[in-house]
Chain A
Amino acid sequence: MVYEKIAGILAEYKGMDVGSISADTSFEELELDSLDTVELLMRIEDELSVTLELEEAMKTVGDLVKAVEAQKDGGDA
């Protein structure tokens, strides 16, 4: 569920087909610079009601999904 949402937001932002994005897709492959990354985090925060920290370690779509899921789990606990 989280993955689909995030892939959808990414695809819309980049104007690309959602099918061409996978968990392994890196931000570098998507040609996202530092400000694109913040913009995406902000959109994900708004749409999924989470608060994300900007972390250097986040490199792929999968990393982002994990971070959001951790937040959601933490929030539910």
Chain B
Amino acid sequence: MGFLVLGTGGSVPSRAVKNDELTLFLDTDDEWISTRTGIRERRVCVGESITDLAESAARAALDMAGVKPRELDFIICSTVRGDKAFPSLACLLQERLSASCAGIDINAACAGFVYALDMADVFMKVRGYKRVLVVCGEAMSRIVDWRDRSTCVLFGDGAGAVVLGPSDDRFISRLSVTGDWKVLYADNSTGNSPYAENSEGCYVRMNGQEVYKFAVSAIEHDILYLCGREGIRPSEVDFFLLHQANRRIIDAARTRLRLPEEKFPVNIDRYGNTSSATIPLLLDELNRAGALKPGQRLLMSAFGAGLTTGSCLFRWQTKA
């Protein structure tokens, strides 16, 4: 079983922050950031909420799909931290859209989009759902430590959405968790209980070298694994949509597989790492640019805190 991508949408905050602007309060420079990461600017929420971005991305995807919110059967949102601890982003979005279906949030960190696609596929197969909305909405600017030059420069805010419908095409995926939380994490607020010690400073903490090592190996492994399962060579895949965490991770994985650069689209230069939103944002850009043709094979591969990986392979189809 697989799915049709009936519509895609993306939304980023209006405020762009270029690398040079970060030098106003960080000991860093444009060359240092761009050569180590490929990032030139990122978008940062000023007045926008995650729900605002998610709504805007969702409406763009619904418009393209020609699907009304009331016709949705389910909403899956992916976020590492929504606007509220509860209700979920999916509930906030459902209310905004005046949709009538149920919805949930998932958190597989930066790999969330592929996990959400996998769940949508299962819901369509098992429950017979016909219209599933998947939205990844993230505001990393709220959880990075803006005093830490090694992490805050990497992330950005944004949302990406897809409206999916069932199809008979194949969708294959591989999800994994390798328990190793200390490599990449952000603590939650512990509140103000009078019975416990409460922590301050719930920021993103990362060991960049370990993440790099894990990511490059995981991407190479998953691409070979999925192509092997499909009985194709990696060169037969039309586009590899990799999680946009660091340009050098993407380049290293591509070099190992000896694949051409044009099959690995990037937008990290403009948005940085928007966690689970990177792949749907990239997909929407390619789709709106007319770069995707029916029948093309897309392979998505993401990795994130956990450590999680999520990779999938399917053919691009927008109509039954």
CA distance A33 to B150 in the complex (A): 13
CA distance A33 to B212 in the complex (A): 13
CA distance A34 to B37 in the complex (A): 12
B25-41 CB mask vs A (1 if < 8 Å, else 0) is: 00000000001100000
Q: How far is the CB of A35 from chain B (nearest CB, A)?
A: 5
CA distance A33 to B216 in the complex (A): 17
Tell me whether A35 and B217 are in contact in the complex, defined as CB-CB below 8 angstroms, given that A54-B209, A54-B210 are known contacts. Answer: no
Q: Which of B209, B216, B217, B252 contacts A34 (CB 8 A)?
A: B209
Q: How far is the CB of B149 from chain A (nearest CB, A)?
A: 13
Q: Which A residues are CB-close (under 8 A) to B213?
A: 38, 41-42, 54
Q: Which A residues are CB-close (under 8 A) to B217?
A: 42
Q: Which residue of A lies closest to B252 (CB)?
A: A39
Determine whether the beta carbon of A35 is less than 8 Å from that of B248: yes
CA distance A37 to B248 in the complex (A): 13
Q: Which of A33, A39, A41, A42 contacts B36 (CB 8 A)?
A: A33
Which chain B residues in 208-254 approach chain A with CB under 8 Å?
208-210, 212-213, 216-217, 246, 248, 252
CA distance A35 to B35 in the complex (A): 11
CA distance A33 to B252 in the complex (A): 15
Determine whether the beta carbon of A38 is less than 8 Å from that of B36: no
Tell me whether A35 and B210 are in contact in the complex, defined as CB-CB below 8 angstroms, given that A42-B216, A42-B217 are known contacts. Answer: no
Q: Which A residues are CB-close (under 8 A) to B208?
A: 34-35
Interface residues on A, range: under 10
Report the tally of A-B residue pairs with Cβ distances under 8 A.
Answer: 26
CA distance A42 to B249 in the complex (A): 13
Q: How far is the CB of B29 from chain A (nearest CB, A)?
A: 14
Q: Which residue of B lies closest to A42 (CB)?
A: B213
Q: Which B residues are CB-close (under 8 A) to A34?
A: 36, 208-209
A24-66 CB mask vs B (1 if < 8 Å, else 0) is: 0000000001110111011000000000001000000000000
A-B contact pairs, 8 of them (CB 8 A): A35-B208, A38-B213, A39-B212, A39-B252, A41-B213, A42-B216, A54-B209, A54-B213
Chain A: residues with CB nearer than 8 A to chain B?
Answer: 33-35, 37-39, 41-42, 54
Known: A33-B35, A34-B208, A38-B209. 16 other contacts (CB 8 A): A33-B36, A34-B36, A35-B36, A35-B208, A35-B209, A35-B248, A37-B209, A38-B212, A39-B212, A39-B248, A39-B252, A42-B213, A42-B217, A54-B209, A54-B210, A54-B213
